[in-house]
Amino acid sequence: MEISFAGLRALVTGAGKGIGRETVKALQRGGARVVALSRTQADLDSLSRECPGIEVVCVDLADWDATETAVRAVGVVDLLVNNAAVAVLEPFLEVTKEAVDTSFDVNVKSVLHVSQIVAQQMIARRASGAIVNISSQASQCALQNHTVYCATKGALDMLTKVMALELGPQKIRVNAVNPTVVMTDMGRIGWSDPLKAGPMMNRIPLRRFAEVDDVVNSVLFLLSDKSAMITGVTLPIDGGFLAC
């Protein structure tokens, strides 16, 4: 299947590392002009060296006002990938206010805010658009010590559906992907211990964790016109985990 993003401009959040970083590279290979947004300038500098021609924006998405300024300055966007997130793992009885605030600021509020700004300019231009939110299997399945992360991803799934409902008439499609464990920096926080990773992998019918490319390929499909009639879905990329 041939996918081309020629002539389109994409914004990827959390582009410094992991899934976001590889999404930037894949979109650029597909012909898009890409804006990479992340929090650590050094990551953006190294990404710029790897992908000459990308634009970079360094901002902390937990800061509502700084995000407003930075994303409004980006201008035209046809494709948006809301990928940035944090995972703070704590047992339910020890969950802190700080973990709740930070996690909801980044994983939910910033997705809503960035998407509002991007969708407003799409509508003002009368342009169609596609948004993909990176959710998780944790949105639909309780995981030990993942109270806050699960709650943010559950909220993100519903945010995705309401965005699809309200933006569909404006020809803006909104979908989510829900990966199982991927061994990025974030994946290593929860799953480096073989005593945790083994039982998790055994619950996945395909008996492996997802690779970054498994996620990126699905994101590219949902951004592309190959999925022109798909909006409002939460697509598991989980080797069957959520089916069982």
Residues annotated as part of the active site = 149
Are the CB atoms for 239 and 206 separated by under 8 Å?
A: yes
Contact between 51 and ligand NAP per CB under 6 A: no
As a residue count, the chain comes to 244
Q: How far is the CB of 124 from ligand NAP (least distance, A)?
A: 25
DSSP code string of 20-83: HHHHHHHHHHTT-EEEEEES-HHHHHHHHHHSTT-EEEE--TT-HHHHHHHHHHH---SEEEE-
Residues 6+ apart with CB under 8 A from 162: none
Contact between 223 and ligand NAP per CB under 6 A: no
| 17 vs 161, beta carbon nearer ligand NAP | 17
Q: How far is the CB of 138 from ligand NAP (least distance, A)?
A: 7
Contact between 25 and ligand NAP per CB under 6 A: no
Q: Which stretch binds ligand NAP (CB under 6 A): 13-21, 46-54, 118-126, 222-230?
A: 13-21
> What is the footprint of ligand NAP within residues 102-141 (CB under 6 A)?
106, 134, 136
**Binding ligand NAP by CB under 6 A: which of 16, 30, 236, 239?**
16
Give CA–CA dist 239/205, Å, rounded.
6
**Binding ligand NAP by CB under 6 A: which of 9, 25, 39, 173?**
39
> What is the footprint of ligand NAP within residues 147-206 (CB under 6 A)?
179, 181-182, 184-187
Q: How far is the CB of 122 from ligand NAP (least distance, A)?
A: 22
Nearest one of 52, 67, 57, 50 to 15, comparing CA atoms: 57
Are the CB atoms for 122 and 77 separated by under 8 Å?
A: yes
